[in-house]
Amino acid sequence: MKRFTFRLEKVLQLRKFRENECKLALGQAISVLNKIENDIKITAMRHHNAVEQRFITPADMASWDNYILRLEQEAERLAQKAAQAELVVEEKRALYIEAQKDLKAIEKLKEKRQKEYRKDVMNYQMAEVDDMTSARYGREDIYDEDIYDHEQGANQEG
């Protein structure tokens, strides 16, 4: 009997590739989001430090105010960027989940076909064993009949 071959193997490989590509894209999007969130934390720490420094040196209060204002604007810009990055992450996650579903569907189909193939192989092997058994016992029956006929002929002659 022929070896098992899955006719949709190329489709399965393509779906595995697509799932991997979506996984990588999701990872990159999460990485970008994490970097933005880290930048937000750094900006917040700088802002906090600048507010404290502002009151330590009153002579430089105007420049500290400008620096604090710039940090607040940077924090706002980063917050908007983070919101956009979260949307991208959700989009990539949805694509990844869809790719996983597509891959699982074809993997289940392959598994089902393999089970059917194994069942067919077992049935084929059982049929061959039955044929060999039938052939063996069939020959013994013929052999037994020949002996019986031969003994009957010898008894009739004698």
Express each pLDDT in 89-114 by its tens digit: 999 999 999 999 999 999 999 999 99
Per the domain annotation, does 5 fall within a domain? no
- Domain assignment of residue 4, yes or no: no
Residues 6+ apart with CB under 8 A from 81: 36
Given this model, what pLDDT does residue 138 score? 61
Please tell me the distance from the alpha carbon of residue 62 to that of residue 82, in angstroms, as a whole number: 30
User: Does 53 or 20 have the greater pLDDT score?
Assistant: 20
Number of domains in the chain: 1
Q: Determine, yes or no, domain membership for 2.
A: no
Query: What pLDDT, in 10s, does the model give residues 26-50?
Result: 999 999 999 999 999 999 999 999 8
pLDDT of amino acid 145: 58
SS3 3: coil
Distance of CA 48 to the CA centre of its chain: 45
Which alpha helices (H) appear in the chain, and where do they start and end? 9-56, 61-157
Q: Label residues 65-80 b or e (16+ Cβ within 10 Å = b).
A: eebbeebeebeeebee
Q: What's the pTM value of the predicted model, to 2 decimals? A: 0.70
Structural domain for 57, as ranges: 10-157
With contact defined as beta carbons under 8 Å apart, do 8 and 110 qualify? yes
Q: Look at residue 139 and tell me whether its pLDDT is greater than 60.
A: no
pLDDT at 37: 96
143: domain CATH number? 1.10.287
In a domain, 1, yes or no: no
Cα 88 from chain centroid (whole Å)? 21
